[in-house]
Amino acid sequence: MTRAGACAAVVIGACIALALTVCAPAANALRSVAGAGELLNYQRVDDPDFAMPGAGTVYSVQYNSRGADGRLTPVRGTVWFPTAAAPATGYPVVAAGHGTSGLGDECTLPRAFASAGPSYGPYYGPWLKQGFVLVAPEYAGIGGPGVHPYLDRRVAGANMIDAVRAARQLGDRVGVDVDGRFATTGGSQGGHASLSAGDVAAEYAPELTLLGTTAVAPPVYIDRYLSLLGPHIPAVPVPDYVTYLSYVLRGLQASRPGLDVNAYLTPVGRTMLRAAETLCYPDMVARSRGLGVGDILAEPLHSGPLMAAVRDVQVIPASGFTRPILIHQGIADVTAFSPLTDQFVADVRAAGTRVDYRTSMAGHGVGPQAEVQSAQWARSLWRADVG
């Protein structure tokens, strides 16, 4: 991010304290439907780009899960089986949510592995080394029908949990013993997906046993800074902020098609949301270069019904968790602001859930050591559960 971008982030971050009194949404149960998590097809992957420490066989899968309209839709994912011997109870599973890649059909994890596969090893490898089957969902709409409902908590939570269900069925098909105990993890958008899954797991998948939920730099309480945005924001050219906001608003359109999001946008903003449907993150950043948040907004986001929709669709309630949580947060993060994560952690603790909160002098990228710690933390919960 540029120095101008960092300055803009500091200004927004300073305003966040003024918004911390906004109420979070009430918990909303998410119940499973018949066929959720059904494994539709699978194929072994022998591409060396998918190899990583601790991984044995790799499979691409397609399974049924929740889409933007609440109905089942095909969702893609990738499953890695570990080389470590299976315990007597079967392998536990971790659902790993990937960070923001884009909304389009080309914005998939296989594409990312093709261009930077080895760089994922330090993030995914620790889980495999700890003896977890690792399944990474693409999320509904990415490589499947419809537009991806970016940061829709109900969709993300269901996609993560249904990926675990699909991984267990895959194990049955290929002769690998996979247990019903699982954890969730992820960074950035993946952290939001992981927390979304942890929030609904007890009611959505009572046949499974959630060990715990981990997240790195999750975007929580995003309503509390989105509500500060409008055409009054100085036209500081920070392309990644425009990209992020475009994804958030286009994702909200996908989840709430009856909401007139376009009423909040300038003609340039409407063009950016159309681009957001297909352009993956690097291309979207390039497309938005030279634009500021104020350039794409015609109305303040706090006006009208938009913020109520954001809170219902995209903001994770603090009161639905029944299992421990581990969150890693960079204090200097100018994407997922640390004061909001601080408040979320305080609220979750006040609701009675144990949270291990680890902060560091880092930005949005905390580094792979966070996943090493997360995998060890989840493994300790597994040991305690199996006795």
Q: List the domains of the chain with CATH numbers.
A: 3-27+222-313 (no CATH), 39-221+321-386 (3.40.50.1820)
Q: How far apart are CA 343 and CA 383, in angstroms?
A: 31
Band (8; pLDDT cuts 50, 70, 90): very low
pLDDT > 70 in the chain, percent? 91
Of 153-157, 181-185, 205-209, 233-237, the one with minimum mean pLDDT is: 233-237
Arithmetic mean of pLDDT over the chain: 91
Flag whether pLDDT at 5 surpasses 60.
no
Of 26-40, 77-91, 214-228, 304-318, the one with minimum mean pLDDT is: 26-40
Most confident of the ranges 41-50, 51-60, 147-156: 147-156
Flag whether pLDDT at 341 surpasses 70.
yes
The average pLDDT across 187-209 equals 97
Record the pTM.
0.92
What pLDDT is attached to residue 3?
40
102 φ, ψ (degrees, to nearest 5): 130, 180
Burial of 18 (0-12, 13-18, 19+ CB in 10 A): exposed
Flag whether pLDDT at 25 surpasses 80.
no
Strands ordered across the beta sheet of 39-45? 39-45, 55-66, 72-82, 133-137, 91-97, 178-186, 209-216, 325-330, 355-360
Flag whether pLDDT at 11 surpasses 70.
no
Q: From residue 75, how far is each of 38, 162, 231 by CA, in Å?
A: 10, 9, 37
Flag whether pLDDT at 367 surpasses 50.
yes
Q: From residue 56, how far is each of 51, 63, 198, 237, 339 by CA, in Å?
A: 8, 21, 27, 45, 40
Q: How far apart are CA 68 and CA 49, in angstroms?
A: 31
325: its two tokens: 């949580």
